[in-house]
Amino acid sequence: MPALARISAILAVSLPLIASAQSRPAAPGYSAQPRPQAGTLVIAGQPEQAPITRINGHPYIDIESLARITHATVRYVGNQIILTIPNATVPSSTETAASAQANTPQLSRAFLAAEIEALTAIREWRVSLVNAVQYQYPIADNWIAPLRRFADSKLQLAAAAASTDPDQKTLELLRNEFTNMQQESDSLLAMRARVSEIRPDTLDNNPQDQKILACQRALAQVAASKQFQDDPSCH
């Protein structure tokens, strides 16, 4: 248990009893005697110590002594004793989220660079096909094949660089994106072989092309965050 958490636990138990003892009048003929010391409280990283007193088997510490060794301030407001400990702040939700993100396994540096290059090659492949359809350029394998081979070579480099579990999971999505792009490319080539020209609006609202584009965005987000994030468009 962290030191500050232990202090909070001690205060939760001891403050009511100490406050009660301070407010209760002494019984007739009673002479207050100091209770024997039952050890010392030490805060990790702090040189000061404070005596501990045991009452009914439970350890208690004087509030002033606790304030001294924690460099805290004490205020008395009515029947409340307010102890303010420096730097004892509760982490915000943003800090908690940032801490959780920092502890999440990230993509390895080598794979991240290779993933970006492979994704860029696949994107260039798609853009070339989309432009050919929109401007009614002839779609032929002699200029599509180099784009496909270049994207495949970058994919193989990404596969060779994958060394962690997040790398392998992201690589699977990247491979799916390549496969979907290959299917679209083959489909357009086959269509061009059947007709003299392909309509410019052929890819408008095309489910296959929309899926490829959505997966590209998802993989770009993975690269930006350096963490694996699954996305249905990449399956």
Residue owning tokens 């702040």: 89
Distance CA 185, CA 212 (A): 11
In this structure, what DSSP letter does residue 39 have?
A: E
Q: How many angstroms separate the CA atoms of 160 and 207, rounded?
A: 31
Show the low-confidence residues of the chain (pLDDT under 50). Answer: 1, 3-32, 100
Q: How does pLDDT run across 168-178, given as a tens digit for each residue?
A: 999 999 999 99
Nearest alpha-carbon partner for 229 in 121, 125, 118, 115: 115
pLDDT of 47 reads 72
Position 13 scores a pLDDT of 42
Per-residue pLDDT tens digits for 25-71: 444 444 445 555 667 877 776 677 778 888 877 787 788 777 787 77
Q: Report how far residue 208's alpha carbon sits from residue 201's, in angstroms, rounded to the nearest whole number.
A: 14
Is pTM beyond 0.85? Reply is no
Spatial CB neighbours of 121, under 8 Å, sequence gap ≥ 6: 147, 150, 151, 153, 154, 155
For tokens 């002494």, name the residue.
26
pLDDT of residue 235: 95
Class of residue 181 by CB neighbours under 10 A (exposed 0-12, middle 13-18, buried 19+): buried
pLDDT for 87 = 67
Please tell me the predicted confidence (pLDDT) of residue 37: 63
In total, the chain counts a number of residues equal to 235
Q: How many Cα atoms occupy the beta-carbon half-sphere of 168 within 13 Å?
A: 3
